[in-house]
Structure 1
Amino acid sequence: MAEPRLPDVYGPGTFTDRHFVSVPADAHRILRVLAAQTPGFSNDESALSKVSFEGDDDPVIPGPVKSTPVAAALHAMTGILADEILTLRGLPNPNRKVVINTTHTALWLGSVAAVYLDHQPVISLLRDKKKFDSLVPDWQQRGLGPRSNPLLKLRATAIYPTKAPGQWYCLHGSLNPEPMLRNLGIDPFPEQPPITTLAEAAAYLRNATTTMSPAEIEYANLSAGHCGTICHTPASWSNTTMGKSLANHPLIDILPNPPHSTPLPPIRFPPVDATRPLPLQGIKVLELARIIAAPVASSILSSLGAEVIKVNAEHLPDMSILQLTLTAGKTTTCLDLRDPADLAQFQGLLGEADIFIQGFRPGVLDKFGLSQDDILTMAVRRNRGRPGWQQVADCASGVAYVMGRAYDLPHGEPVLPSLPVSDMTWGSWVVRGSLVGVDMFLLREEIGLYSREVVERCQERFRWGRMRGENHVLELLRTTWEGWEVWGKGLSILRPVVRFEGMGVGEEGRPGWRSAGVPYGFWDKGEVRFEGR
């Protein structure tokens, strides 16, 4: 039996490895942990042994959380399922192997920054707003009222101290912080004194949060429906109602559809082109989502051959930088579901889709006839097969607390992970993704945390700049990227992580995207339709 991990090195409820295991070897172990815990997933060693892991022995992401081996194991599960689907589609191949490079996986977690534009890393272009705006249209401000101070807007999503000593709160301004700030009694357009630096913006917000207890801020946000969370330790989060509920489920769980829904038999996959044998070739996906988590899911499906149509509304903002990577391989258009004609067109697309991915809070789409029951009823009719934010999840679950302890910050100051790990790795069948569920899995005793020695060795290699609780996730991403630049400058957009070997075909048979990222709503809605089967 393995030695128990060291308790409480990074605070209450943390478990740290006694001995270092290389990232590829740890991914190999975690794949088997996940396979054993996931309902319906193969535990057959002949399937699991089709996967091989390669890459740097040491982690390449700041902090002790094992984001890379867990993400690599999840990609391996994707590869195993892809191999099984190819077999179901008449292309069995005992020589087909799934190869996962764990260093590639780490880069993939930061892939929204791993793109070059006009021969420059896009993350460095963020320092030159004028040039960035000249190259990338501003989707972020669509539908917003008067623009808030950009410095205050950036600092409105960050971690701040409260009136209670040593207790912190994660504010989240979403894409428009004005309502959240006003609700907390904070003027979003202060004139005296004027805010001219990020440090002044952070101080302005800190002066407000330190007049309130964590419970007061939480109640104000909860009452108004705004995002945010008290920053928990892993132990205190595990004792909350939600923490206890999530602990009763594996990371990936399969739950039955509602009892009143009509069971549907499985259907055959459409024929596959043997010259480009991607597992999801011919599968149609409709995406109605913004930001990262749901678009990443459809991006992975696209890389495996699925046809993806991404729909947004002209009046709803999105983050500009994300369009460069998370629209690759997709057709994008704008439809306003409040308009009867646009809603009818959307429902027509939905009627053809095999998979519908949406990223809105439960109940938001019900008024458009797009509730879970509506979708299940539509599936029966055609007789064919079946807000949450990363920062809030990181702070609630205790991940941000662990990162702050790893950096030896004073007064229990939490820090967000430098990469949007839970956004990039959520997974769960109807399918729901839990960002907090991913974070809780990362903190389980059976997964473990890297020791301080490993964290310091990684820091020495990449020399990342100082990270603090007030930093926005884009600043943390830029700091991480600047350390990664030691690998050179040749990257334009990352390949998918899953790689097949022994396919017997060329590049066309490898996961990848058939088109580059395109602007928000790039195609005219009158031209958007799924290709015929």
Structure 2
Amino acid sequence: MAAQDRVEGVYGPGSFTDTAFTSVPVESKRLLVELAKKTPGFTTDQSLIDGVKFVGDELPCIPGPIKSQAFVAALHGLAGIVGHEILQLRGFKTSGETTVNTDAAGMFPATPALVHIDGSDGPQILKNPAVKAFDHGALGTPVKLRSQAIYPTATPGVWFQLHGSLGPEPILRSIGVDPNATFASGDEAYEHIKKVTQTYTASDLEQLMLSRGFPGSIVHSPASWLDTTMGRSLARHPLVDYSKVQFTENIPPVAFPTAQENPDARPLAGVKVLELARVIAAPACGTILAAMGADVIRVNSSRLPDFTPAQVTLMAGKRSIDLDLKKDKDKETLESLVADADVIIQGYRLGSLERRGFGRSLALKLASARKRGVVYLDENCYGPDGYYAERPGWQQIADAAAGSSYVIGKSYGFPDGQGVLPSLPISDMSTGILSAVNVMSMLRDRARYGGSWSGCSSLTGYNAATLQSWVGLYQPDIVKRIQDRFQFEPMTSDLHVIELYYAIARSWDRYAERSGNSYTRNEEFYTHFKDSVYGKDLRILAPIVQYTNPLDRDSTPTWTSPPVPFCFNETAVFN
């Protein structure tokens, strides 16, 4: 596949735009091939790479110039390939074929919004009595909702991503906004905060958030991000980033269960995964691993706020328990789970659990004592090292930092420097599948070479990868074609990601009404659970990786249990 010429600067400094359009399935395959080359330790078995088939519509279904849909489809292709490698290690004869529908992959970032319960959908889902509110009021008023928005600053042409996190009060107070102020609408709250942010330079806001330990980011162009110390530090790491832990070479390989030992033909049958995470990215990883056959236990704390809508989708195939690390009994429970786990997904700030005695050090110590290596994944905003590594961050922060929000704003015709969020929690969900590829690769290598393995997946790393010159961006006429087809509602700097993703789902629904059973109305893209805690018919987006060859049909990813609310199970031990 010949490389095409690209034009630099169409969407701001450091942006690289294609000169010709390639359909989403074809582009997905190109990106898969390139990612396979750029991923250390990835398979050189060309038959597995050739065996990935991408099917779907020619045109993307996600607004803007970033190739999010093709990129996330390619990541699912990588996961499908590693799944085949693991099946072969288990003694299964496989076809080596993986199918990824790129339309479903385009819907994947909207997973939290694509829920139907007994005929209800959209925001109505949050009124279901079984969907327990876990945001602790973090988004309960207009001013708190608009604590997560992009604002102009006193620095001409430089905007700032403010992020109230799941505790907006201290962040709003830090800039001089009363978190208890009442406003009639989100627009009114936005205008009030906007007047305040314009009294700060962009660098003053950045330094204020950094010094207080709060999230936040200047809206960088792709070039200005790579010119920062943190941008250069993160760029040194490959996207799929893992290695064997030093001094664990004496731990023997851990074989996957054979078909005779475990009749479940999904790749990760018998693998025990402990999920220590909140919100979207790391939980998305755990849900993907559960579909691949892993036994996943999610540890929540009812004392901590979490992303309420995620319960109905990103808990599929899992169990969830409530632990309080201030209680000795709960600390003992968590240590026993760490001691038994094959995989630990850590989605809090880098070093946060380590300081509480439940980080990588404990996992490696217990793995050494049992003579069975552990796979440890850090999922965070900024990567495994560097100036901002321990800084808190969220999807919106990564979008602003790496240049994604800058590029989106430019593509929508806003002035240089004005950021607009990508329309969905794209970096969140995409880092989820990236993390799953990371974990599956480490499990494969633990079985081959022994030892314990450690990796990191970062939101900003994902965003920066999609903006690299080898990926390219869609031309303005393609951005217009996407908009003309789906007639997306206006997207602006003030909107919260929840407002955006419900708006995208509405546009897909309207398009499906006009064009037939496509996208949100294509039942092939969904899975149903009968008599779940939420209702008699719960419908969510199905796993994207599919093994459609009859030889592999029993191995295709699927969930064997419906999503449950956070803190649902009284106790849980690995099977």
TM-score bucket (shorter structure): over 0.9
1:163-312 equivalent positions in 2, closer than 5 A: 163-190=154-181, 194-257=182-245, 259=246, 263-272=250-259, 276-312=264-300
Query: 2:78 corresponds to which residue?
Result: 77
CA separation in 1, counterparts of 2:241 and 2:550?
Answer: 31
**1:424 pairs with 2:423:** no
CA separation in 2, counterparts of 1:27 and 1:133?
Answer: 37
Asked if 2 retains the 8 angstrom alpha-carbon contact of 1:165 and 1:411, the reply is no
Query: 1:99 corresponds to which residue?
Result: 99
Query: 2:489 corresponds to which residue?
Result: 465
SS at match of 1:254: strand
SS at match of 2:113: coil
1:516-527 equivalent positions in 2, closer than 5 A: 516-525=562-571
Q: 1:83 Cα deviation (Å)? A: 0.4
1:324-335 equivalent positions in 2, closer than 5 A: 324-335=312-323
Q: Which amino acid aligns with 1:138?
A: A
Q: Which amino acid aligns with 1:389?
A: W
Asked if 2 retains the 8 angstrom alpha-carbon contact of 1:275 and 1:505, the reply is no
1:130-149 equivalent positions in 2, closer than 5 A: 132=127, 134=129, 136-141=131-136
Asked if 2 retains the 8 angstrom alpha-carbon contact of 1:261 and 1:377, the reply is no
Query: 2:573 corresponds to which residue?
Result: 529
Q: Which amino acid aligns with 2:117?
A: L
Q: Which amino acid aligns with 2:48?
A: A
CA separation in 1, counterparts of 2:30 and 2:409?
Answer: 27
CA separation in 1, counterparts of 2:186 and 2:47?
Answer: 54
Query: 1:407 corresponds to which residue?
Result: 412
SS at match of 1:116: strand
CA separation in 1, counterparts of 2:283 and 2:341?
Answer: 16
1:385 to 362, 369, 373: 373
Q: 1:133 Cα deviation (Å)? A: 6.0
CA separation in 2, counterparts of 1:405 and 1:413?
Answer: 7
CA separation in 1, counterparts of 2:567 and 2:462?
Answer: 31
CA 1:316–1:522 in 2, change beyond 3 Å: closer, same or farther? same
Asked if 1 retains the 8 angstrom alpha-carbon contact of 2:53 and 2:99, the reply is yes
Query: 1:16 corresponds to which residue?
Result: 17
Q: 1:255 Cα deviation (Å)? A: 3.3
CA separation in 2, counterparts of 1:337 and 1:133?
Answer: 30
SS at match of 1:187: coil
Gaps in structure 1 of 5+ consecutive residues: none
Coordinate RMSD, CA, aligned: 1.8
Q: Which amino acid aligns with 1:309?
A: I
SS at match of 2:352: coil
SS at match of 1:357: strand
CA 1:208–1:263 in 2, change beyond 3 Å: closer, same or farther? farther
Asked if 1 retains the 8 angstrom alpha-carbon contact of 2:216 and 2:393, the reply is no
Q: Which amino acid aligns with 2:327?
A: D
Q: 1:75 Cα deviation (Å)? A: 0.5
Asked if 2 retains the 8 angstrom alpha-carbon contact of 1:262 and 1:380, the reply is no
SS at match of 1:112: helix
CA separation in 2, counterparts of 1:324 and 1:198?
Answer: 26
CA 1:523–1:149 in 2, change beyond 3 Å: closer, same or farther? closer
Query: 2:148 corresponds to which residue?
Result: 157
CA separation in 2, counterparts of 1:14 and 1:228?
Answer: 23
Q: Which amino acid aligns with 1:393?
A: A
Query: 2:52 corresponds to which residue?
Result: 51
CA separation in 2, counterparts of 1:254 and 1:342?
Answer: 30
**How high is the sequence identity, in percent, across the aligned residues?**
41
Asked if 2 retains the 8 angstrom alpha-carbon contact of 1:148 and 1:188, the reply is no
Q: 1:420 Cα deviation (Å)? A: 1.4
Once the two structures are superposed, what CA deviation does each residue of 1:306-340 show, in whole Å capped at 9, x if it has no partner? 01011111201111111100001001110112211
Query: 2:549 corresponds to which residue?
Result: 502
CA 1:168–1:263 in 2, change beyond 3 Å: closer, same or farther? farther
CA separation in 1, counterparts of 2:68 and 2:148?
Answer: 22
Q: 1:459 Cα deviation (Å)? A: 0.5
Asked if 2 retains the 8 angstrom alpha-carbon contact of 1:23 and 1:102, the reply is yes
Q: Which stretch has the larger CA shift, 262-271 or 206-215? A: 262-271
CA 1:269–1:137 in 2, change beyond 3 Å: closer, same or farther? same
CA separation in 2, counterparts of 1:135 and 1:91?
Answer: 40
Query: 1:442 corresponds to which residue?
Result: 466
SS at match of 1:370: coil
Q: 1:470 Cα deviation (Å)? A: 0.8
Once the two structures are superposed, what CA deviation does each residue of 1:40-60 show, in whole Å capped at 9, x if it has no partner? 101331121111110011100
CA separation in 1, counterparts of 2:397 and 2:139?
Answer: 22
CA 1:237–1:312 in 2, change beyond 3 Å: closer, same or farther? same
SS at match of 1:433: strand
**1:480 pairs with 2:524:** no
Asked if 2 retains the 8 angstrom alpha-carbon contact of 1:158 and 1:470, the reply is yes
CA separation in 2, counterparts of 1:134 and 1:26?
Answer: 43
SS at match of 1:499: coil
Q: 1:249 Cα deviation (Å)? A: 2.5
SS at match of 2:541: coil
Q: 1:422 Cα deviation (Å)? A: 1.4
Q: 1:135 Cα deviation (Å)? A: 5.3
Q: 1:463 Cα deviation (Å)? A: 0.3
SS at match of 1:301: helix
Q: Which amino acid aligns with 1:101?
A: N
Asked if 2 retains the 8 angstrom alpha-carbon contact of 1:149 and 1:188, the reply is no
CA separation in 1, counterparts of 2:259 and 2:270?
Answer: 7
Q: Which amino acid aligns with 2:469?
A: E
Q: Name whichever structure is richer in strand by fraction.
A: 2
Query: 2:387 corresponds to which residue?
Result: none
CA 1:102–1:304 in 2, change beyond 3 Å: closer, same or farther? same
CA separation in 2, counterparts of 1:183 and 1:432?
Answer: 31
CA separation in 1, counterparts of 2:197 and 2:408?
Answer: 21
CA separation in 2, counterparts of 1:168 and 1:462?
Answer: 28
CA separation in 2, counterparts of 1:260 and 1:266?
Answer: 14
Q: Which amino acid aligns with 1:240?
A: T
CA separation in 2, counterparts of 1:369 and 1:28?
Answer: 43
Q: Which amino acid aligns with 1:397?
A: A
Q: Which stretch has the larger CA shift, 275-284 or 448-457? A: 275-284
CA 1:309–1:209 in 2, change beyond 3 Å: closer, same or farther? same
